[in-house]
Structure 1
Amino acid sequence: MAAKRSTFVICARNVGADNQFGGEPAEISFLRVPAGKDRYDAGLAMKADSWRKYLMAAADGEEDELTGLRGNILVFIHGYNNDIPTIVWRTRKLQETLDDAGWKGVVVAFDWPCENSTLNYLEDRSDAASVADKLVSDVIPMLVSAPDAACVLNVHLIGHSTGAYVIQEAFSRATTKGELFRAEWRIAQVVLIGGDIAADSLDASSQWSGPMFDRIVRLTNYQNRHDSVLGVSNAKRLGTSPRVGRVGLTAQAHSKCVNVDCTHYFEGKDPTHSDFQGTFCHSWHIGDPTFALDLALTLEADIDRLALPTRARGIDGLALQPGLRPQFQSQWLAAAPPLVVG
């Protein structure tokens, strides 16, 4: 089904003379990429209102006329060193695997400028901070405020690698936006994979993450101790503190946080039989069906985080494991049949 659907992109890159997106932060462009097209340029840009209508029509899991059903939007925020074809592939793969897991919603890519050179890593962090401002000024208000009474949207964010930094910085900057700060809005679920932020930045006492926790329902961190990209010995890291995507949450983590340790599950994965792009230990999540089902159940939030069939409970906390969606889950909320009195 995903192959026949459009891919929605919010792009924060500059536009060159050839209509191609460049490597510097710029005004937001809203794009709807046709199925089968593996890259995009500014020629696909649409007016924000038109783009939003198409998005809402796809938010119930089908790209059709607006039905007025409750919908889900998952905004995928990529990390360092992602080119446009990779962003398209990862967005579509997330959509495809979530569809297969039974999730009803639409995945949207938030594309920010990032280069493919280690020397540009710190510059990319600066760009990430800059585009975080765009995320709170132009994107979140449009998604969380639904003037269409028939549409009730649940908005979620998933950050890969440096995308976790973009998310945290966006909520921090939202406190400086008077009208947005005073408004009553919420993001449902925030998910981090390969999160390239300090583990203690998600502590209850962290001033940086405080604004985020004020606005979200739950944060789920997927940890993998084999993620060498996040290792302290990595040259581009320049000696920064242990990253949450590798070591997991601290004992002082905010009460809204949930940690899922993927280390043991990852140890059984064969890259030659896996569908992925990028460095395997850092980006295996996108394309993995077990992760996709756990993510789908997390976004739905119909089952408590401690009871998901894709999670084992041990002395060290929750760990990812293969599992199946409960057989009768779709019937659990069904209305009881009327009583027959005779």
Structure 2
Amino acid sequence: MDYFFSRRTFNQSKGKFTKDFAALTRYARVPEPIAEAGAAHLISRDQWLQGVLSSATTNDVVIFVHGFNTSQAEMLIRQRKIQGGLMAHGFGGAVIGLDWASDGVLSGYGRDRTDAKKTAPYLVLDGIGPILNARPGIRIHILAHSMGAYLTLRGFSQVGDSGAPGTHPWGVEQVLFLAADVTVGWMEAGAWGGLVMDHRCKRLTNYYSGFDDVLALSEINKFGTAPQIGRNGMSGPLPGRFNDLYCGEQYDRTVPQAQRSVRYSHTWYFDNAGVYQDAARTLAGQSAASMPTRLPASNGDQALRV
């Protein structure tokens, strides 16, 4: 059973979600196998919380925040890949999704970015806050891909301590950014993104790759020449709780040439056992220096061990 919360509109007559932004958050579950595109069972928030928490064998909940050009069906496929990949390496928590109104088309970048920004506060108000209040000792983690990292940053910056009722102040445990569509300058020392994440999470791990052709296009089309942390890493000095993890060699050595494409250079993380092995250890709170999944990189960062 998959659980997600969504800011897509829901067509009542067809019983399906659409690709448009909604004025309210809906809670849903989807049984195996993945339902017809857009179809899901709507449930109350209380039913959803009960289902989410009962699906975990630990007090851990990972919220997957998908990126640009992602349909709801594709979001669910990736959510299941994440759950299976983490479980294979000992993670026993729940994996749920925030489904926001991506058009699911390559030409929709501008609209997707607008909808991500509009959705951002509801990651906290309708997801993180209710889960934190549902059970003492719950540990929430964020796994955000591509534009989902931008949404996460915006959400964390837009909601103050009083924004998640009953949690003063609120925060999460581990934040994992994969192929993050986030400008490097935002994460520099003293910049707004770095300050927000330093305040709201116990650790930020940025998985990045110089082979990411989608982010290479994003850097040119969006801000002229602004580098993105999902392709270049973060710019130091960084807070001690921030870690850059270079994954380019993992991609270059493990992804066959026949499988490579512009888009896959941005999404291959979801199919890589090495990424999940490291992510499971990260979610468990293991120190970055002691992880056997990592090696020192020549630029001073760490690199995913191939």
Task: Assess same fold via TM > 0.5.
Answer: yes
Which one has a larger percent helix, Structure 1 or Structure 2?
2
Q: Which of structures 1 and 2 has the bigger CA Rg? A: 1
Cα distance per residue 1:11-62 (max 9 Å; x no partner): 11011242221222211111111121244646501000011011111121xx
Return the match for 2:278 from 294, 317, 329: 294
Aligned to 1:282: 266
Return the match for 1:10 from 5, 9, 24: 5
CA-CA distance at 1:79 after TM superposition = 0.4
Q: Which amino acid letter does the alignment assign opposite residue 143 of structure 1?
A: I
Return the match for 1:124 from 103, 107, 112: 112
Counterpart contact for 1:277–1:283, Cα < 8 Å:
no
Structure 2 gap ranges (5+): none
Partner-residue secondary structure (3-state), 2:192: coil
User: Is the alpha carbon distance of 1:107 and 1:273 closer, same or farther for their aligned partners in structure 2, counting shifts above 3 Å?
Assistant: farther
Partner-residue secondary structure (3-state), 2:243: strand
User: Is the alpha carbon distance of 1:19 and 1:190 closer, same or farther for their aligned partners in structure 2, counting shifts above 3 Å?
Assistant: same
Residues 14-23 or 85-94, more deviating: 14-23
The reply to whether residue 47 of structure 1 matches residue 69 of structure 2 is no
Q: Distance in 1 between matches of 2:187 and 2:101?
A: 25
Counterpart contact for 2:161–2:170, Cα < 8 Å:
no
Aligned to 1:20: 16
Return the match for 2:186 from 169, 181, 201: 201
User: Is the alpha carbon distance of 1:43 and 1:260 closer, same or farther for their aligned partners in structure 2, counting shifts above 3 Å?
Assistant: closer
Aligned to 1:308: 291
Return the match for 1:85 from 73, 93, 110: 73
Counterpart contact for 1:86–1:277, Cα < 8 Å:
no
Aligned to 1:339: none
User: Is the alpha carbon distance of 1:212 and 1:314 closer, same or farther for their aligned partners in structure 2, counting shifts above 3 Å?
Assistant: closer
Listed as ranges, the matches of 1:212-227 within 5 Å are: 212-227=197-212
CA-CA distance at 1:238 after TM superposition = 4.9
CA-CA distance at 1:235 after TM superposition = 5.9
User: Is the alpha carbon distance of 1:86 and 1:319 closer, same or farther for their aligned partners in structure 2, counting shifts above 3 Å?
Assistant: same
Q: Which amino acid letter does the alignment assign opposite residue 172 of structure 1?
A: S
Partner-residue secondary structure (3-state), 2:274: helix
RMSD of aligned residue pairs (Cα, Å): 2.4
Return the match for 1:248 from 233, 236, 261: 233
Structure 1 gap ranges (5+): 1-5, 61-69, 323-342
User: Is the alpha carbon distance of 1:234 and 1:167 closer, same or farther for their aligned partners in structure 2, counting shifts above 3 Å?
Assistant: closer
Residues 290-299 or 85-94, more deviating: 85-94
Listed as ranges, the matches of 1:146-295 within 5 Å are: 146=134, 148-149=135-136, 152-175=137-160, 177=162, 180=165, 183-232=168-217, 236-271=221-256, 279-295=263-279
Q: Distance in 2 between matches of 1:107 and 1:132?
A: 19
User: Is the alpha carbon distance of 1:273 and 1:298 closer, same or farther for their aligned partners in structure 2, counting shifts above 3 Å?
Assistant: farther
Q: Distance in 2 between matches of 1:107 and 1:277?
A: 28
TM-score with structure 2 length normalisation?
0.91
Residues 13-22 or 84-93, more deviating: 13-22
Aligned to 2:304: 320
CA-CA distance at 1:174 after TM superposition = 0.8
Q: Distance in 2 between matches of 1:176 and 1:286?
A: 33
User: Is the alpha carbon distance of 1:80 and 1:220 closer, same or farther for their aligned partners in structure 2, counting shifts above 3 Å?
Assistant: same
How many residue pairs match? The answer is 303
Aligned to 2:91: 103
Counterpart contact for 1:232–1:241, Cα < 8 Å:
no
Q: Which amino acid letter does the alignment assign opposite residue 304 of structure 1?
A: S
Partner-residue secondary structure (3-state), 1:284: helix
User: Is the alpha carbon distance of 1:295 and 1:179 closer, same or farther for their aligned partners in structure 2, counting shifts above 3 Å?
Assistant: closer
